[in-house]
Amino acid sequence: MSEELKVETAQEENFAELLEQSLKTLNNGDKVTGTVMAIGSTEIQVDLGTKHTAYIPVEDLTSDPSVKVEDIVHVGDEIEAIVVHVNDGEGVVRLSKKRLEAGKAWEEIEAAVESKEVLEGVVTEENKGGLVVNVKGVRVFV
């Protein structure tokens, strides 16, 4: 009898925890992790485990235009992104993986500058003032 009570209590606690998580409020700028549920021609649908329907537009997936979506993500993959826009009225959340990567890249570049580390990049443009270089997905003027 006491084992049944323990199991029932544990199930109630798990349910309460899941319910609380599903009602979680999301705000712009929040870093979230979800599971890729579907990949379309214009967006990737992501399950955040909340009451919201989340998606990443293809243009917000990566800063590398030569990469194909199917090479980056697959259904069932776990993905991290930044909340860009929340529409609570419709229960829809727009995410950006590209902004998350750009933020991480800036942190890495700043750390490299402080430690005087040499970084490598790809020259993408040339103008009379210098060069534009892609370093870790960030456009840098040299």
pLDDT band at 33 (very low <50, low <70, confident <90, very high): very high
Residue 54, number of CB atoms within 10 A of its CB: 25
pTM of the shown model? 0.67
Domain locations along the chain: 26-98, 101-141
Distances (CA, A) of 32 to 111, 116, 129: 24, 32, 40
Helix (H) or strand (E) holding 56: strand 53-57
Least confident of 16-20, 56-60, 75-79: 16-20
Segment 53-72, tens digit of pLDDT = 899 999 898 877 777 888 88
* pLDDT for 71: 84
Average pLDDT over residues 95-102: 89
Instruction: Report the percent of the chain where pLDDT is more than 90.
Output: 26
| Residue range 26-98, CATH number | 2.40.50.140
| Spatial CB neighbours of 16, under 8 Å, sequence gap ≥ 6 | none
| Spatial CB neighbours of 32, under 8 Å, sequence gap ≥ 6 | 26, 48, 54, 80, 81, 82, 83, 95
Average pLDDT over residues 138-142: 81
